Amino acid sequence: MIKRPERRAQLVRPAAVVLAVVAGLGCVLLGVTTVLTPGALVTRAADRPAPAAAGAAPVMLRIPALGLVLDHLVGLGHISGRREQPGTALGVGWFTDGPVPGEPGVAVLSGHAGFGYTAGAFTRLGKLERGDTIIVGDEGGHESLFTVDKAELFPADAPDSKLVAPEGTGPELRLITSDGAHDNAGLRGTRVAVSAIPAV
């Protein structure tokens, strides 16, 4: 009577060991699959050079003809149904509801011509001429070069939609002066919109 339980226990132990090994292998295999798959994807992505327009947000703007160099751009959204504007005289923002510069569609950067009695970042925007260069850098370190196509004047109360209306199907860059409450556009009666296309 005593030997039977011992024999039963001797038979159970190997079976338990086998089950534990199988379960362990299953966990290991599942663990390896979970760990290796993302790692493999990351490695392959890291080996590839980043595409020119990977959707990275713009962070830098240079306009040599105006001597303008800005190493910080802000994202502009909407507040109470109205498009947000840069909060400082020298601030320039990117309309985040549109494409990033270099992608199909119209990418829009907005800055103040004047902010109260202070000259804004885009105070001389209307002086740009056809062929002038605009460089936009993104957070991934890539720089996109654009060539000015034209500069236009619009009434101070012209809506942004009019200033940024697309003119083609390819990538476009539009620089516009803001219509914020502190802008002096109303005093001059005009807003400026500069259209640029990717440099060839």
Q: In whole angstroms, what is the distance from residue 124 CA to residue 120 CA? A: 9
SS3 at position 110? strand
Q: What is the pLDDT of residues 118-137, one digit of tens each?
A: 888 999 999 999 999 999 99
Q: Do 85 and 180 form a contact (C-beta atoms < 8 A)? A: yes
Q: Is 3 helix (H, G, I), strand (E, B) or coil?
A: helix
- Residue 183's pLDDT is 55
Residue 174: other Cβ atoms inside 10 A = 22
What percent of the chain clears pLDDT 90, i.e. is strictly above it? 45
CATH code: domain 58-198 is: 2.40.260.10
The single residue listed with the structure tokens 């109303």 is: 186
Listing DSSP states for 39-71 in one string gives: HHHHHHHHHSPPPTTSSPPEEEEEEGGGTEEES
Average pLDDT over residues 142-165: 91
- Residue 144 contacts residue 101 (beta carbons within 8 Å): yes
What type of residue is 61? Answer: L
Condensed to tens digits (0 to 9), the pLDDT of residues 161-185 reads 888 899 888 899 999 998 765 555 4
Mean pLDDT of the 94-111 span: 93
Confidence of residue 51 (pLDDT cuts 50, 70, 90): very low
187 burial via Cβ count (<10 Å: 0-12, 13-18, 19+): exposed
Q: pLDDT averaged over the chain?
A: 75
